[in-house]
Structures are given as structure tokens and as C-alpha cells.
Structure 1
Amino acid sequence: MRAEPTILHVDLDAFFAAVEQRDKPSLRGKPVVVGGVGGRGVVSTASYEARAFGVHSAMPTAEARRRCPNAAFLTGRFHAYRETSRAVMALLRGISPLVEPLSLDEAFVDLAEADLPDHSVTAVSAFARDLKARVREVTGGLTGSVGVGTSKFIAKIASDLDKPDGLVVVAPGNERDLLRPMQVTVIPGVGPATAESLRRIGVHTVAELEQISEDELVRVVGRSHGRSLYLLARAQDDRPVVAEREAKSVSVEDTYDTDHVDRRLLAALLDRQAGKVTERLQKARLSGRTVTVKVRLHDFSTHTRSATLPGPTDDARTVARVARSLLGDVDTSGGVRLLGVGVSGLADWIQDDLFADQEPDETDPFDEETETVLARLSHRRVWAPGMDVEHDVHGRGWVWGAGRGVVTVRFETADTPPGRVLSLAADDPELRPYSPQVSEPPEG
């Protein structure tokens, strides 16, 4: 435990939904739900206006529609989320070399490495208020909730106490008083199963958990988990903020504006990604043994499959062949919204004769069928709610809805007033998806 509040946690508020409201003026101040929009879809993020109706993440979209029928239900635009996240992470890294991202919208920052006059509660509070203003500036108006404390555990809890747009600094010595009234589910790792086990021994709050001996907790939930609960109930957490280390893998992933079901198309996309990954490996004079496929399905569930080769490779055909096989283990019949290929177990040498018994196939994986499928993809007209579009006459906008040969578009951008809504033919040759120029993600 630190003697001063030098660990900061920042959490962008309702991140996906907030980005959509920022970029779509007509949705500002209105309920927005981001996630799967189909019958089996799941809510990823709900704006605070939607949360007032009881909508929350992981809720089935069908239930969210019943609770808040007037909300805008949108698919994700991950290019916009990634760009916004990069701006925030760059800001944080300019403050301290020790920044530990947890996801696109949250991170820990070690203020002991920041340029502060001192680390008193007053100084840290003033710094955090300035940081919140800078986050709003670099994101184009998004808010973030900030918590600061003497440990990661306390900082993360503090950032949840006054959402949205909150700031809580927990003074040293007040940690246990803060925790005691809270439900045990506030402790990391206490999910429904552990909470039920604790309930059976009369534990509902952190104060009650604090009264249980370590031996009893080990008996109830196991050695490792029991020890962790014992310490965290007493606000004891000495985990450091760990900055991102040198990449241990090379990977490529893409998020699609519409869910893909066609197996030949998915295989073609994997082939292309395998080519990009191995090109990066070759440029870095590296090879790898383990091939991993990442798949995010229509319901936002994410699955990974991996296979380890007898020796390292940087061959696109080999990586593509393994990736295709791994994808076959995942049920993609409901649609795929994200696909990725990675290679890990890196080495600075290649076992050249690993597949010497296989005849080289000059057209695999980029054969004629692959290129045909990919070409067909580039011309396919699928309009997903929320996606960015551009029209030769009406300019830029976004899809409100589509069906029966018609696409409804609201023509507006982040920099315009709320725009007008027009219904156009789905095959209108003057209408096309808008692809903003985004920076390349870092390798690894």
C-alpha cells in the first residue's frame, strides 16, 4: 500500500454510446443503445438516457427495445472508438510513462511518475480536474470519471462512485471506511457464484467479509481466491501500474459494418489477415509458433482459438491454413462482426523445412476465388444502423434504418446541426459507405 494517493483510474462514461452522440447531433441528450440490433443481439453500451429506462450492458436487445422503444439502436463503429481511445491514451502517456490500459475506455496511471508539485489530496485533486478537462478536449466533448487512491483497487472503486463525469480522491487512511458499507460484489472476482458462497456464511457486505478469517475464506472459496478476498477486504493491494511491454505477438483484426456469415468470405478475410501478419513478421525478421484466431460474433461474444506448430514460421500459406482450421471450431452461423489473426511464441529464426513435404501453391491463400470473394465484398450493399455513409448530392450522414430496398439516412456530422432524414433506394449509385482515414493500430 502506498502512503499517498498516486494511482489514478480514468473511465470514459458510456463510451460507445457517447461517441455516437458526439458524432450524431440529433442523438445528443436522447437514449442511445449500441450493440447487436438483431433479434438475438446483446446490448454493449447504453447511454445514461437509456439507462434511466433500465437498459444496461449485456441485456438482450429485445428486452432493451421493450424497455426503451424510442431509443436509437445502433451497431458499433469501432474505427471511431479506437481513434477516440488512442487520443486519450496518448494524453495519459504524456502525463506519466506508467499507463496501464484495461480496455478502450479505461486505464490506470501512476502519478508517482507524473510532474506534480506534491502528492497531497489537494494537489492530486487539482491535477485530476485538469485531466478531466483535457480528456473532454481531446475527445471532442466526452466525459470521463476519475478515481484516485493508494492502490489500483481503491482507485477503480473511486471512479465508479460519482458517475458520470465524477471525481473522487480517497485520502490515505480512509480506504477501509470507504469499503465497509459496500456489497462484497464490489471486490474484483466476486461474481454471482462467489457471492452466493459468501451469502451462505452470512457475508453480504465488505464489513462482514472483514470479520471472516483467512482460513475460513480459503475453505469456502479456495486458497488463491480466499487469500485475495482476505487482503482486499482490508484494502490491501500492492499491484503496480504496469506499462505496456514490448509486443509478444503480431496480430491484425478488423471490425465489419455488417455481420458476415458466408464461410468462403470469412476464409478469404482470414487469408488476407494472415498475409498482413506474416508481412509484419518478415519485416521484423521474426517468426512464430502459435497461431490464434479471434472471432467476435453477432451477440458481441468473443471467442479465441489457438494452435501451436512444431516450429516457428513466417509463411502466409501456413498461417492462413491453420487459421481457417481454427475458425471451423467456432459456430459463425449467426454472423461475425470482428475477425482477427495473430501469431505469438515469437522467435528470431525460421525452421525452413517445417513444411518442406508440401508442394508450394502459388495461388494459396490469395487464389482467384479468394480475390473474387473479396471483390464481391467491396461491392456488397449492406446498410447497418449507425454506419457512416456519404452521398454525392446530400453529403455525409449515417444510416437510421434499412429494409425492403430502402435505406433511411440522416444527413449530419459531428460538426453540423441535426440534419434532415431522407429515404433512398438501397442501391442508389450515389450512396456509399463512408470510410474515414484512421491511423494504423500499433503492431502487436
Structure 2
Amino acid sequence: MARWVLHVDLDQFLAAVEVLRRPELRGRPVVVGGDGDPTKRGVVSTASYEARAYGVHSGLPLRMAARRCPDAVFLPVDRELYEAVSDEVMAALRSLGAVVEVLGWDEAFLAVDGDPEAVAEEIRARVHAATGLDCTVGIGENKLQAKIATGLGKPAGVFRLTGDTWFAVLGDRPTDALWGIGAKTAKRLRELGITTVSELAAADPGALAERFGPATGPWLVRLARGLGGSAVSDAPHVPRSRGRETTFQQDLDDWTRVRREVSRLARRVADDVADEHGDVARVVVKVRYAPFTTRTHGSTLDAPTSVPERIEEAALAALARFAGRRPVRLLGVRAEFARPRPRPVTGA
């Protein structure tokens, strides 16, 4: 096993790619999201650091982003461009000869030996030479440490976080500073009097198991101690689900139309599932009511299937569990896979 895990994260990736092809935007607040029209419904995918200074961040409604930063340049999402640039980045990482585990368009883990800072600087140099983009590299003894280190090294830096420095760096920070703990879990921990990483690390795993479950409770303690994380692997990513969603420019008041839209999304998801050659075990429907309240319900199938009609039926069964019939601004359907089936072999 390699001595070090490095986490590479492209800084403000989508916005940075857009600035590369529009150099005149350098230094200006740039917001990428939806079709680039902030008068329409949609959310921010990425904001440049200049836009973030105004409180614009990923997931923020575009209209709110425009209010916070009226001088921002709004651009549509260009998936094909980002995928092409991402491929160049990952090729640059693989040219090092290390094991590379791709996490998405803009981040990856690497398993390396030797001087990790030297490797990190080589990574930054190769990525910049290949694409013109800057990246931050986090160094750790496992994935958890490396991932958190990246956040501490931004922007365009290198940061090392190990077991020896873990509590000195993170001990007094709130629990949601940890990768894997969100606002809801942090709130539940606060209700138990646990507010910092050090306090969570000292907590009784058995007591937390009673509150969070036999697996999650002890895992939270290990997380706070900087432990865990699987080995870096370059095995192809196997998706756990496929989903589609749509935001409506005008609220849907008629739930007959809501039902039709869920059926339409379910059929699109069924097409995606067919491409993945997977069987679906559960279907989840997301409803975002106006103005911005989100609820989800799921439906488990009697047996895993890829039959479109069955997936659509499960989506409609999940929709039937929604008690509210308020106006709807967004709908989503997600199919969760059972065990993936082997892909068919083609060619000689």
C-alpha cells in the first residue's frame, strides 16, 4: 500500500474553465448555472471566488445570486466542455504513474510514495501545463485526511494533514468540518452536547450507536479520530443510482400534471438505467414545493427490474405518498440500483 493519499481538487472548476475560453472575464464575478439566465429558475453550479465574496455559492437559486451580486456574469452549464477538460486533467494525473481514483469532473484521489509535497507540486504543474487550470492538493495518510486537507489548502495550495496533526488542526472545529457530517447530523450531535471534533472523538461509540444506529454511531467516532477510508482504487466507477429532475419556470398547481411529469421523468430514468445495464431496487421521487421546501418519498419494488413500466409504476407509487398538494416548482425521480449486472461483452 502506498504511503500517502493525495486529493486533487480543481479550484472553481466550471467558472475557471469558462474564464479560460473567455479571458476578458478574468477577475470578474462569474456564476455558472442553469441556462445562464438569472431571471429564470435554476441554481448555481459553480461561482468564481470573486462571486463567492458576495455570498454566492453552489446550490443558491440563480435569482438570489443575481440579487447578491448584480454585476456578476451568468453563464449556462456546458457539460461537454467540462467533460473534455476533465478528461485532460485526469490524463495529466495518470501520467504520473500513480493509482488514480476519479471522483468527478474536478477531483480525484492518488496513492503515492516518496515526498508527497514534491508530488503535489508536480501534479499542480502538470495540470496547469495541460489545461491552464489551478488545483489544490491535500495530503493525508488516508482519504479522509487528504480530502479535508484540500479544503484547508485552497485556493491553489498544498496542505498536509496527518494523524499527528489532526487534533491540533481540527480539534476545536465544529463537527461539520468533517467530510461526511452535514448540518442535520451536526445538529443532532449538538443536542447530545457534542459540538467539536475533539468532543466527538471522545464520545462513547455505544451511546452514539443507540442514537444514530449500530453502524453510523461508531463510524462518526472513527471519523472524528481521523480514521478510516478505503484504499485508493482505479477500478471503474459503478453508479449506485440514476436520476433526472426538472425545475418549472411556473409552479405546477395541477397535480394531474405533476403526475404526468413524474411519469415522463421516470421513463427518462428508465432509459438511463437501460444504458447502465442495471436492475432497480427502489425509486425515489423528490418534490420541491414553492417557494423552496423539499420532500422525498420512495417506493421499493417487489423484485429488482429494469422494465420501464415497473419503474414508472414505482415512481407514481412514491408520488402517491405525498400528502401535500401545494404548488410545485421542481420534480425529480431517482432509481437506486440493486447489484449491478455485468456489462455485455461486444466485439471479438
Q: Which residue of 2 aligns with 1:237?
A: 228
Relative to structure 1, the CA distance from residue 296 to residue 173 in structure 2 (aligned partners, 3 Å threshold; closer, same or farther) is: same
The answer to whether the aligner puts 1:181 opposite 2:172 as a matched pair is yes
Q: How do 1:368-407 and structure 2 match up within 5 A?
A: none
Report % sequence identity: 34
Partner letter of residue 13 of structure 1? D
**Considering only aligned residues, what root-mean-square deviation do their CA atoms show, in Å?**
4.5
The answer to whether the aligner puts 1:223 opposite 2:214 as a matched pair is yes
The answer to whether the aligner puts 1:124 opposite 2:122 as a matched pair is no
Asked if 1 retains the 8 angstrom alpha-carbon contact of 2:281 and 2:305, the reply is no
Q: Which residue of 2 aligns with 1:435?
A: none
SS of 1:18's equivalent in the other structure is helix
Distance 2:343 2:230 in 1: 35
In structure 2, runs of 5+ residues without a counterpart are 320-324
Partner letter of residue 42 of structure 2? G
Partner letter of residue 134 of structure 1? R
> 7, 12, 31: which one pairs with 1:14?
12
Relative to structure 1, the CA distance from residue 271 to residue 232 in structure 2 (aligned partners, 3 Å threshold; closer, same or farther) is: closer
Q: What is the CA-CA distance between 1:68 and the residue it aligns to?
A: 0.4
Distance 2:268 2:189 in 1: 49
Asked if 1 retains the 8 angstrom alpha-carbon contact of 2:301 and 2:314, the reply is no
Asked if 1 retains the 8 angstrom alpha-carbon contact of 2:281 and 2:304, the reply is no
> 2, 15, 28: which one pairs with 1:30?
28
Distance 1:276 1:197 in 2: 36
Q: 1:385-421, CA deviations, whole angstroms, 9 ceiling, x for partnerless residues?
A: xxxxxxxxxxxxxxxxxxxxxxxxxxxxxxxxxxxxx
Partner letter of residue 205 of structure 1? T
Q: How do 1:271-350 and structure 2 match up within 5 A?
A: 289-290=279-280, 319=308
Distance 1:189 1:275 in 2: 31
Asked if 2 retains the 8 angstrom alpha-carbon contact of 1:100 and 1:241, the reply is yes
Q: What is the CA-CA distance between 1:322 and the residue it aligns to?
A: 5.7
Asked if 2 retains the 8 angstrom alpha-carbon contact of 1:5 and 1:124, the reply is no
Distance 1:61 1:228 in 2: 36
Asked if 1 retains the 8 angstrom alpha-carbon contact of 2:299 and 2:315, the reply is no
Q: Which residue of 2 aligns with 1:81?
A: 82
Q: Which residue of 2 aligns with 1:69?
A: 70
Asked if 2 retains the 8 angstrom alpha-carbon contact of 1:312 and 1:346, the reply is no
Tell me the TM-score normalised to structure 1 length. Answer: 0.58
Q: What is the CA-CA distance between 1:204 and the residue it aligns to?
A: 2.2
Q: 1:161-187, CA deviations, whole angstroms, 9 ceiling, x for partnerless residues?
A: 121111112356223322213221112
Partner letter of residue 159 of structure 1? T
Distance 2:134 2:285 in 1: 30
Q: What is the CA-CA distance between 1:79 and the residue it aligns to?
A: 0.8
Distance 2:166 2:5 in 1: 13
Q: Which residue of 2 aligns with 1:104?
A: 105
Relative to structure 1, the CA distance from residue 103 to residue 185 in structure 2 (aligned partners, 3 Å threshold; closer, same or farther) is: same
Q: 1:282-313, CA deviations, whole angstroms, 9 ceiling, x for partnerless residues?
A: xxxxx7644999999999x9x99998797988
SS of 1:223's equivalent in the other structure is coil
Tell me the TM-score normalised to structure 2 length. Answer: 0.72
Q: Which residue of 1 aligns with 2:187?
A: 196
Q: Which residue of 2 aligns with 1:54?
A: 55
> 137, 153, 161: which one pairs with 1:146?
137
Q: Which residue of 2 aligns with 1:425?
A: none
Q: Which residue of 1 aligns with 2:322?
A: none
Distance 1:269 1:342 in 2: 14
Distance 2:301 2:123 in 1: 44
Distance 2:235 2:31 in 1: 31
Q: What is the CA-CA distance between 1:271 and the residue it aligns to?
A: 8.2
Relative to structure 1, the CA distance from residue 272 to residue 205 in structure 2 (aligned partners, 3 Å threshold; closer, same or farther) is: closer
Q: What is the CA-CA distance between 1:134 and the residue it aligns to?
A: 0.9
Asked if 2 retains the 8 angstrom alpha-carbon contact of 1:203 and 1:209, the reply is yes
Distance 2:166 2:138 in 1: 13
Distance 1:209 1:311 in 2: 39
SS of 2:137's equivalent in the other structure is strand
Q: How do 1:404-415 and structure 2 match up within 5 A?
A: none
> 128, 131, 134: which one pairs with 2:126?
134
Q: Comparing 229-238 with 14-23, which one deviates more in the overlay?
A: 229-238
Distance 2:336 2:200 in 1: 42
Partner letter of residue 12 of structure 2? A
Distance 2:149 2:161 in 1: 7
Distance 2:268 2:168 in 1: 55
Relative to structure 1, the CA distance from residue 335 to residue 25 in structure 2 (aligned partners, 3 Å threshold; closer, same or farther) is: farther
Q: Comparing 69-78 with 267-276, which one deviates more in the overlay?
A: 267-276
In structure 1, runs of 5+ residues without a counterpart are 113-118, 282-286, 351-444
